[in-house]
A and B are shown apart, each in its own frame.
Chain A
Amino acid sequence: MYREKKRPFWQNALLSAAGIIVFFAIWELVVATGMVSPEKLVAPSKVIYAFFDKFHNVVPDGNTLDVHIITSLKIVLAGFLSACIIGVPLGLAMGFFKTCNRLLTPVFEIVRPIPPLAWIPIVIVMLGIGFQSKVFIIFIAAFVPCVINSYTGIQATPKVLLNVARTAGASHFEMFCKVGVPYALPMVFTGIRVSFGSAWATLVAAEMIASSEGLGYMIQQGRNASKPEIVILGMLVIGLIGAALTYLLGILERKATPWRKTHE
């Protein structure tokens, strides 16, 4: 909206860099001057040191950083992919076929507001404390946005397009495949991106179930051992990987739906 004044590129880049640098400088200073006790917050330089150190140092959680990252990625990807595979077709069907809508929406509305964390006791009883139960918690978190976005996307298909297809002799199922689904695709992708975000955000919750590795577990152990640098390192690694993968999904989204207006 408020048209931005034309500034040379380097000036914009400088402003952005300044923001980050000032943020870290204040953080470093607050710790260095002793305003905050080192037990509560550690300087960014110490976190960076912990980052490199963690690749071969197994204290306090018994594993190196790369093992934690791979374990967490496996759990999140398994939960996220199964949520997409089940959630997207389900949402599309619920949005397009009236019978599906009437049949499934009430069930979905019951399950939707339950926080993923509240599933933990039930999941432990049903699936045990292994890989499966963690994947299920992630699945629950990722499932909801997949369904909602696919549902809203296909419901917004303009009547005109549907009528054209019907006039041209398309069956109801053909209309679903050739008009509804392509129309909903941009929304579906947004849903996939959102659901990846909530899958990744639930990682810490899922790893509360008896774990011995994973980034969420690493944070818990860092806290138990009162090592704030491990806690902050864990947070930053989770944040960075989450941001990077969301960015990749964004690129995929633009490649898959090139007709969509770029609004970012």
Chain B
Amino acid sequence: MNKSNRITDMLLPVISVMFVLALWWFASSQNDVLAGPVETLERFIELIEHPKMGIPLYVHVLSSFYRIMVAFIFASVIGVSLGVAFGVLPTFKRIMWPVFSILRPLPPLAWIPLIVLWVGTSGDASKIIIIFIGIVMAVIINTFAGISHTDEMLLDAGRTLGASKWQILTDITLPNSIPVILAGLKTGLSTGWMSLVAAEMMVVDNGIGFLINDSMQYYDTALDFVGIILVALSSSLLTLLLNLLERRLCPWLYLQSK
């Protein structure tokens, strides 16, 4: 690749992002209610200086992080165990899969009214359960897919060397399905963030979803953009962490592609 090419390669992304910002700015100048990039930045600074409801901005972000992390940990433990159980216990799968197939297509948001009836709106429990539902389905599906698509040759090799069923699981199938499981965790997380925004529409006074919901009631679109940017950044951060984890857990993936 020659030098002029490399410069265009660097310029093109900058141009496109600038173009989006310009488009945003133009749209906001045509519409009185819609906030532009400058207003959003101003709103952001204002939020830091004069916190909403007396709660500093970072507390909103941290409380959302807390809810999503608790839900994420529960969802990964339960999701991976159920996925493994579906993969290694044919009878369990026969019995439980149909029930799972009924529950799986239910959108996490559709659970909200029911969860509210069950555990009420106050406290973190209802929100965490809704985020949990958002994350866990993708984890179960991907773990199951990873476990059941293990290369037959690897399994045969393990059996020939006299590995027990447990050893095959811990030494062959599980490590082999880590990438697929991690992909499930990533998909789950993005559903999780969506569920978070929905869950924090219930009675709460903190969280990024609260900010977004508040913006909806007062047509404060600048606040909405602040919320959107915070969600986007936080969700990218968590995805980045999972990518780093993937690099640590399965270095072989990165050896091949290089």
Q: Taking beta carbons and an 8 Å cutoff, which residues of A are in contact with B?
A: 1-2, 4-5, 12, 15-20, 22-23, 39-41, 98-99, 102-107, 110, 113-122, 124-126, 197-198, 200-205, 216, 219-220, 222-223, 226, 228, 231-232, 234-236, 238-240, 242-243, 246, 263
0 or 1 for each of B201-222: is its CB under 8 Å from A? (1 = yes): 0000000000010011001110
The answer, yes or no, to whether B107 is at the interface (CB within 8 Å) is yes
Beyond the given pairs A40-B118, A201-B109, A242-B107, 18 more chain A to chain B contacts, judged by CB atoms under 8 angstroms and listed by A's residue number, are A1-B173, A16-B97, A20-B98, A20-B102, A23-B102, A41-B117, A41-B118, A115-B231, A118-B228, A121-B221, A200-B105, A201-B191, A204-B107, A204-B109, A216-B109, A228-B117, A239-B103, A239-B105
Contact surface of B with A, Cβ cutoff 8 Å: 8-9, 12-13, 15-17, 19-20, 27, 31, 33-34, 87-88, 90-91, 94-99, 101-114, 116-118, 147-150, 152, 155, 165, 173, 190-191, 193-194, 196-198, 212, 215-216, 219-221, 224-225, 227-228, 231-232, 235-236, 239
Q: Which of chain B's residues has its CB closest to A200's CB?
A: B107
B117–A238 contact, CB under 8 A? no
Which residues of B have CB within 8 Å of A16? 94-95, 97-98
Give Cα distance in the complex from A234 to B96, angstroms: 23
Check A228 against B197 for contact (C-beta < 8 Å). Answer: no
A105 near B173 (CB under 8 angstroms)? no
Known: A16-B98, A102-B12. Is A110-B17 also a contact (CB below 8 A)?
yes
Main secondary structure of the interface of B (DSSP, over half): helix
Is B110's CB under 8 angstroms from A114's CB?
Answer: no
Whether A118 contacts B12 by the Cβ 8 Å rule is: no
A2-B90, A16-B97 known; A246-B105 Cβ under 8 A: yes
Cβ–Cβ < 8 Å partners of A23 in chain B: 99, 102
Main secondary structure of the interface of A (DSSP, over half): helix
How far does the alpha carbon of A245 sit from the alpha carbon of B125 in the complex, in Å?
Answer: 33
Contact A228 to B17, CB < 8 A, known contacts A1-B155, A20-B99, A126-B31:
no
Could you say which residues of chain B place their CB within 8 Å of the CB of A119?
A: 228
B200 to chain A, nearest CB (A): 10
Neighbour of B16 across the interface among A18, A19, A103, A204, CB < 8 A: A103
Name the contact of B110 in the complex, choosing from A120, A228, A235, A246 (C-beta under 8 A). Answer: A235
Closest CB of chain A to B40's CB: distance in Å?
11
Q: How far is the CA of A40 from the CA of B198 in the complex (A)?
A: 21
Closest 5 CB pairs of A and B: A223-B113, A201-B107, A102-B12, A115-B194, A15-B94
